[in-house]
Structure 1
């Protein structure tokens, strides 16, 4: 074998080995690229899924806020309607006249006087009803009008012999009835 042949065999062997190393490197590079692309796809899908979840959370929060705001506005509107109804009722009560006002005031005066068990009672009423209440007090013992009170009608009674103050005004009766009947009134007005 000549030296040229040996050199040529070594070169062929080196070329073959170099080709083998290149193929192996290409295979490893393809595998690394495939892994990187798979990782990139997985990361992209995770980010898309997280973005979808975030969008859904924000949509739910926005929807929840909108529902709460609508409910608050509906409640405020109902409260306004109920206030208008109460104002109307108060206006009608304040407008009671004649025998109707006299009967209601007398009933409330009798209930007030009964609370004091025969003791001297000072009563207060609205300015417009002072003459009526004075007239009613003349028919009763130990009862006299002592001044005015801001109310729709009726009386407030006090006694020096007792620390009790009895509020039998139209306002207090309305407040009690209003509290007792508010749910039913709301149901009738708003069909709930």
Structure 2
């Protein structure tokens, strides 16, 4: 064997080895590319799912927020209607006149009188527009006198001068009690719940 043959064999071996290394490199590069593509697809899919979850969560939050806002607006509208109804009732109480006003005021005064048995002097207060009516009504009771005005829709506030008893039998206080006791029924009738 000549040196040329040996050199040629070494070259052939080197070429074969280089070819193996190149093929291994290409296979490894393909594996890396495939792995990268798979990872990229998985990452893309994960990002899509995350974005879809986030969109769904934001949609649910927006929907929940809109429902809450609508409920609050509905409650506020109901509250406004109830306030209007109460205001109308108050206006009607102020507008009461004649025999009806006298009957109601007398009943409220009589109810308060029982609290002041044995008192020598009792002061009765009421709405300024009811002064004449109250003076006529207190004349029926010994020791009772009309003492001046009280800011109310009507009725009486009665105080004993010898005791610290004060009875508030105004239309306002009666309306407050009736309103609180019947608010649920009024609301149901107004809003057909």
With normalisation by structure 1, the TM-score equals 0.96
Match of 1:57 in 2: 57
Is 1:77 the counterpart of 2:77? The answer is: yes
Contact 1:154/1:168 (8 A) holds in 2: yes
Q: Is residue 9 from structure 1 mapped to residue 26 from structure 2 by the alignment?
A: no
> 18-27 vs 40-49, which deviates more?
40-49
Question: Are 2:32 and 1:32 aligned?
Answer: yes
- 1:162 is aligned to 163
Structure 2 residues without counterparts, runs of 5 or longer: none
* Shift, 1:160, TM fit: 2.0
Q: Which 4+ runs in 1 deviate beyond 2 A?
A: none
**Offset at residue 116 of structure 1 (A):** 2.0
1:43-192 equivalences under 5 Å are 43-119=43-119, 120-192=121-193
What is the CA–CA distance in structure 2 between the aligned matches of 1:162 and 1:94, rounded to whole Å? 31
Number of residue equivalences: 192
Q: CA RMSD in A?
A: 1.1
Question: 1:3 and 1:164 mapped to 2: Cα distance?
Answer: 136
CA distance in 2, matches of 1:37, 1:118: 102
Give ranges in structure 1 of 5+ residues lacking alignment.
Answer: none
TM-score normalised over the length of structure 2: 0.96
